[in-house]
């Protein structure tokens, strides 16, 4: 679940290049901010099921709640267009952001790697606070940890980076398939009524674990704010480490691809828009076709949870990557026209404040779904969840541009930058543009 929240350094580079008159650098970074803005909106479409609860609902909408036909349609829509694709897009943007930041610092005579490690270390801490205080699905910690690993190889040739990315992803997919195939077969055999006694017990035990977890989550997230935070700290303080160990083999390859794409100058206009549009149409179409095949298998079976967890993990990783690559190419092709529109400017602002918007979304959705707010946890089906997505999108698009017209960067982007630079937070006058 993921996010490439590099809007702060991108905006900072924007002003540095603007001061030297390099207009093409401004356009490049605004293009990345535009894509990041679309991605931060899209990620909410997937994270909403985690906020609405229970967690197993993210994989199988009818497992914990009795899903209606409308709920299955709502879930299928998100599964086809957003699930995994936004996570992949964010990871690639994060890799590109690492390259941009290091290049700028190195060009300024500073040690880009050291500063980036400091930057990512603070992001890890902020991610841990996000997990404890707001939401279990934090990905700041995961991305920061994987980003530090990427720094060790970022200077390698592009062919080496792509080979490393492909090798990690392929190996992880094979290991995952080998480990989970027997249980997948057992789940399908139970559905068909041909399972052995051992298979029935194995599947029943796994489904019981899901139900137990869903019940525990319902109890926890109907509690008060500090009770939820204390329970996380007491019962699962290393949850984000577990998430990192599970996700690194997907996240690091995607970051490496993003780093290589940044080297290629895709956001700088190195590839003609027509070529980008054709490439994006073909790749996004291919990825969506693969996802549609999986959907065509899962939907008639009402999204069997064991199989869905495998698909959402490593099973559809190739489809997610290809679709995200296509989405990114199409956004790059459309960027010059979009940047001249009011909607495009709002998306750019949303991307420049991606960190603040990401955390702000957790605060808003926590207030709506958890016990310290309106306590809607476990009561909203997949179809109705889209209303909350639209609410979140509206707020992000509404507040980002006006805020940046008054201040140079978003509130959390400012905090992050101040921590990295070891500066006291500037006064209000210094913030203003």
Q: Which pLDDT tens digit goes with each residue over 242-253? A: 999 999 999 999
More confident residue, 256 or 67: 256
Q: How confident is the model at residue 161 (pLDDT cuts 50, 70, 90)?
A: very high
Name the least confident of 107-121, 148-162, 262-276.
Answer: 262-276
At 4, phi and psi to the nearest 5? -95, 85
- C-alpha 165/C-alpha 153 separation (Å) is 11
Confidence (pLDDT) at 65:
73
pLDDT(19) > 70: no
Residues 6+ apart with CB under 8 A from 78: 45, 46, 49, 382
Residue 404 lies in a domain: yes
Do the Cβ atoms of 7 and 352 come closer than 8 Å? yes
Residue 2 lies in a domain: no
Confidence (pLDDT) at 100:
87
Residue 261 lies in a domain: yes
Six-digit token string for 248:
């690194």
Do the Cβ atoms of 218 and 377 come closer than 8 Å? yes
Confidence (pLDDT) at 123:
96
Burial state string for 251-290 with b = 16 or more CB within 10 A and e = fewer than 16: bbbbbbbbbbbbbeebbebebeeeebeebbeebbebbbeb
pLDDT more than 70, % of the chain: 91
Question: What number is the average pLDDT over the span 75-90?
Answer: 95
E strand map for 93-226: none
What pTM did the predictor assign? 0.89
pLDDT(8) > 50: no
Judged by phi (left if over 0) then psi (alpha if -120 to 50, else beta), residue 375 lies in left
Confidence (pLDDT) at 14:
37
Confidence (pLDDT) at 15:
31
Structurally, the chain folds into a number of domains equal to 1
Q: Which domain holds residue 13?
A: 7-431
List C-alpha distances in Å: 364 to 356, 369, 380, 389, 394: 12, 9, 16, 11, 12
List C-alpha distances in Å: 18 to 24, 28, 75, 160, 240: 9, 12, 44, 34, 38
Q: How confident is the model at residue 28 (pLDDT cuts 50, 70, 90)?
A: low
- C-alpha 325/C-alpha 254 separation (Å) is 10
pLDDT(233) > 80: yes
CA dihedral (227, 231, 237, 238) positive or negative:
negative
pLDDT(25) > 80: no
More confident residue, 264 or 209: 209
pLDDT(380) > 80: yes
Q: What would the DSSP string read from start to end of 308-368?
A: HHHIIIIITHHHHHHHHHHHHHHHHHHHHHHTTSHHHHHHHHHHHTHHHHHHHHHHHHHHH
Q: Tell the residue number behind the tokens 């019940």, with chain if given.
A: 215
Question: Mean of the per-residue pLDDT values for the chain?
Answer: 89
Q: How confident is the model at residue 423 (pLDDT cuts 50, 70, 90)?
A: low
Residue 358 lies in a domain: yes
Residue 1 lies in a domain: no
Question: What number is the average pLDDT over the span 73-93?
Answer: 95
Residue 61 lies in a domain: yes
pLDDT more than 90, % of the chain: 79
Confidence (pLDDT) at 66:
74
């Amino acid at each position: 679940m993921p996010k490439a929240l590099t809007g702060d350094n991108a905006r900072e580079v924007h002003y540095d290049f603007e001061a030297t008159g390099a207009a093409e650098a401004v356009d490049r970074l605004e293009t990345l901010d535009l894509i990041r803005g679309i991605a931060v909106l899209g990620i909410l479409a997937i994270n909403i099921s985690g906020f609405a609860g229970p967690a197993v609902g993210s994989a199988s909408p009818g497992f914990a709640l009795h899903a209606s036909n409308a709920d299955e349609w709502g879930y299928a829509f998100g599964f086809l267009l957003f699930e995994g694709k936004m996570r992949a897009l964010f990871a690639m943007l994060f890799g590109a952001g690492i390259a941009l930041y290091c290049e700028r610092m190195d060009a300024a005579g500073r040690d880009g790697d050291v500063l980036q490690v400091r930057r990512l270390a603070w992001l890890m801490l902020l991610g841990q606070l996000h997990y404890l205080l707001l939401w279990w699905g934090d990905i700041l910690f995961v991305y920061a940890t994987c980003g530090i690993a990427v720094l060790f190889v970022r200077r390698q040739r592009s062919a080496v980076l792509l080979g490393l990315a492909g090798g990690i992803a392929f190996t992880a997919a094979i290991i995952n398939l080998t480990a989970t195939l027997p249980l997948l077969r057992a789940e399908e055999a139970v559905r068909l009524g041909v399972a052995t006694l051992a298979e029935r017990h194995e599947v029943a035990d796994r489904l019981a674990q899901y139900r137990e977890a869903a019940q525990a989550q319902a109890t926890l997230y109907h509690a008060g704010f500090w009770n939820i935070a204390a329970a996380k700290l007491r019962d699962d303080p290393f949850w984000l480490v577990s998430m990192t160990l599970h996700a690194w083999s997907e996240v690091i390859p995607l970051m490496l691809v993003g780093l290589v794409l940044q080297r290629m100058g895709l956001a700088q206009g190195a590839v003609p828009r027509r070529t980008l549009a054709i490439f994006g149409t073909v790749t996004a179409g291919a990825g969506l076709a693969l996802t549609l095949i999986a959907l065509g298998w899962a939907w008639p079976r009402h999204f069997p949870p064991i199989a869905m967890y495998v698909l959402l993990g490593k099973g559809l990783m190739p489809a997610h990557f290809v679709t995200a690559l296509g989405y990114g190419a199409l956004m790059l092709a459309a960027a010059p026209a979009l940047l001249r529109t009011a909607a495009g400017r709002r998306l750019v602002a949303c991307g420049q404040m991606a960190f603040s918007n990401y955390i702000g979304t957790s605060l808003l959705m926590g207030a709506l779904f958890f016990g310290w707010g309106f306590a809607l946890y476990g009561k909203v089906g997949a179809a109705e969840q889209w209303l909350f997505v639209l609410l979140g999108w509206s707020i992000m698009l509404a507040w980002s541009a006006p805020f940046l017209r008054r201040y140079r960067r978003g509130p959390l982007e400012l905090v992050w930058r101040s921590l990295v630079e070891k500066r006291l937070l500037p006064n209000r006058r210094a913030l203003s543009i």
